[in-house]
Amino acid sequence: MHHFKNPSFELIRHDVVEPLLLEVDQIYHLACPASPVHYKHNPVKTIKTNVVGTLNMLGLAKRVGARFLLTSTSEVYGDPLQHPQVETYWGNVNPIGVRSCYDEGKRTAETLAMDYHRGAGVEVRIARIFNTYGPRMCIDDGRVVSNFVAQALRKEPMTVYGDGKQTRSFQFVSDLVEGLMRLMEGEHVGPFNLGNPGEFTMLELAQVVQETIDPNARIEFRPNTEDDPHKRKPDITKAKDLLGWEPKIPLRQGLPMMVSDFRQRIFGDHKEEDTATNTSSS
């Protein structure tokens, strides 16, 4: 939105499943719902976006000689049997499960990118993005950080799925943006893990949200979803060595920035009433 007044900025609303012809130098191919709730909602559309959408964008890159960056995902590792995950690990993915439209879709997208690179000389870059959070995320995105933050602010219980012992590693959005730009401007194809190696169980995450928003925030256990990966943590040695990149913002520093934005959007100008809140909108 903040680019709308820039005369060099043009917004085109388009579904990548349909072909598109544009004159461009670089393509950041980010299209696809990333929240499990949203990508499972219409799985056929999700896999079409990942396969047909990626084909169309690679076709465009080939035609106009653009450099193409694919935002792949840590989900290509599935429920990993190797920990932390290194880019050379091939993963443990269920090909017929409820998450397959996304994880197999992104794996196919990686295959397509490499085939266009080897076969047609397209300059490609592949990022495998680990769990990311930050300001301006949809309040009803459905992923864990935004759920816990919105729930704690609204005095609703935080919904922990399963026993809460599964782990994730949470990256602040500005670190990811920096990593994507370095990857695009650099000379290495990848794939590169882009994530923050700081690993938390969901119960630990709930505790950090309590510390940040409300020490009295409650937890409610819910049944876990099918095929939920048990653990996830990036090995970022390759990105450090070849892109000179590593994340700078740990969870306890990034979360208050997201809380401040969510507070503003949920409550508008009205001050939150409860005095138990121990963090101001910093």
Residues forming contacts to ligand UDX in the complex (CB under 6 A) are 34, 36, 73-75, 129, 131, 143-144, 147, 159-161, 166, 168, 202, 224-225, 228
Nearest CA to 215 out of 150, 160, 278 is that of: 278
Nearer to ligand UDX, 122 or 133 (CB): 133
DSSP string, 29-70: E--S--SHHHHHHSHHHHHHIIIIIHHHHHHHHHHHT-EEEE
Nearer to ligand UDX, 60 or 76 (CB): 76
8 Å CB contact between 179 and 245: yes
How far apart CA 12 and CA 14 sit, in angstroms, is 6
| CB 222 to ligand UDX: min, Å | 7
| CB 129 to ligand UDX: min, Å | 6
Helix extents (H) in 169-250? 173-185, 202-212, 237-243
Q: Active-site residue among 102, 116, 133, 161?
A: 102
| CB 160 to ligand UDX: min, Å | 5
Contacts of 88 (CB under 8 A, 6+ apart): none
Residue 161 bears catalytic tag:
no
| CB 62 to ligand UDX: min, Å | 26
How far apart CA 54 and CA 68 sit, in angstroms, is 10
DSSP string, 90-149: --B--TTSTTHHHHHHHHHHHHHHHHHHHHH---EEEEEE--EE-TT--TT--SHHHHHH
CA distances in angstroms from 238 to 109, 190, 245, listed in the order given? 21, 9, 9
State the number of CA atoms in the 13 A half-sphere of 231 facing the CB. Answer: 13
8 Å CB contact between 175 and 196: yes
Nearer to ligand UDX, 68 or 133 (CB): 133
Residue matched to tokens 């309590």: 210
Nearer to ligand UDX, 68 or 130 (CB): 130
Nearer to ligand UDX, 163 or 241 (CB): 163
Nearer to ligand UDX, 82 or 225 (CB): 225
| CB 28 to ligand UDX: min, Å | 16
| CB 149 to ligand UDX: min, Å | 11
Q: Just list the catalytic residues.
A: 102
